[in-house]
Structure 1
Amino acid sequence: MRTRSALVYSVLRLLAFFVPFGIFMLIPIMREYYWLSAIFAALIGLSLSMIFLRRPLDEVTTGLAERRARSKDERSDEEVEDGALPGPEAGSTTDAAQDRPQA
């Protein structure tokens, strides 16, 4: 993933929110209800980013997928979890039953 594409996408998403929010703050009634301005700006920003920012989003997600594929640690989640156990006998209940004296 190129840092530039992630930075461009993040800045454009922030602008898609803050520009409408700033415009709403110029309206006197919306200054009183700033939370309503924030909701409207979020909806407008989401809509704008879905329409106009599809290509930067694709670049960022493609870069993340490539980076994950190139990672040095190729082990699966199950292998990592199994490696976290202290030993093979840690989860075994049959060993504990064999250690008990029988009456």
Structure 2
Amino acid sequence: MKAVPAWLSYSVYRVLLFAVPLTLLLALQITWWVAALVAALIGVCLSYLFLRKPREQVALGLYQARHPAVETAHPDAESEDASIDRAAGDALQRERQGE
């Protein structure tokens, strides 16, 4: 089974941390815009307190997507290095045979 992406679980938690207080405040018959404002403040505070690890995972994923690892080696570098090593080994072998 595939793991749920960090951004998806973090987003669901954030929505729940807003929706549950909003539902409770609306059930108490508080004006909708006041309930929405208070629910947003409650959601922000709770997510800051309890969702540190998912938030850091999402931030790391965004950073890695924005700054991909740059491969500094040329694509042919390995084959060139191998041919140079082979040539050096052949020269050393010829030199030993000549002695």
After TM superposition, the score normalised by the length of structure 2 is 0.63
After TM superposition, the runs of 4+ consecutive aligned structure 1 residues lying more than 3 A away are none
1:69 equivalent among 59, 67, 70: 67
Between the aligned partners of 1:71 and 1:41, the Cα distance in structure 2 is: 40
1:38 to 33, 36, 39: 36
Task: Give ranges in structure 1 of 5+ residues lacking alignment.
Answer: 73-103
Alpha-carbon separation, structure 2, partners of 1:64 and 1:41: 27
Partner of residue 17, structure 1:
18
Q: Could you tell me how far apart the structure 2 residues matched to 1:68 and 1:40 are?
A: 34
Q: Among all aligned residue pairs of Structure 1 and Structure 2, give the percentage whose two residues are the same amino acid.
A: 38
Q: Deviations over 1:10-68 (max 9, x none)?
A: 0100001000000111113x1xx110000110110000010001110100010111122
CA shift, 1:71, in A, is 7.0
**Structure 2 segments unaligned to the other structure (5+ residues):** 71-99
Question: TM-score when scaled to structure 1?
Answer: 0.61
Cα distance, 1:69 vs structure 2 = 1.7
Q: Which residue of 2 aligns with 1:55?
A: 53
* Bigger proportion of residues as helix: 2
Structure with higher Rg: it is: 2
How large is the Cα RMSD of the aligned pairs? 1.8
Residue type matched to 1:34 in 2?
A: W
Separation in structure 2 between the aligned mates of residue 25 and residue 71 of structure 1, nearest angstrom: 48
Partner of 2:85: none
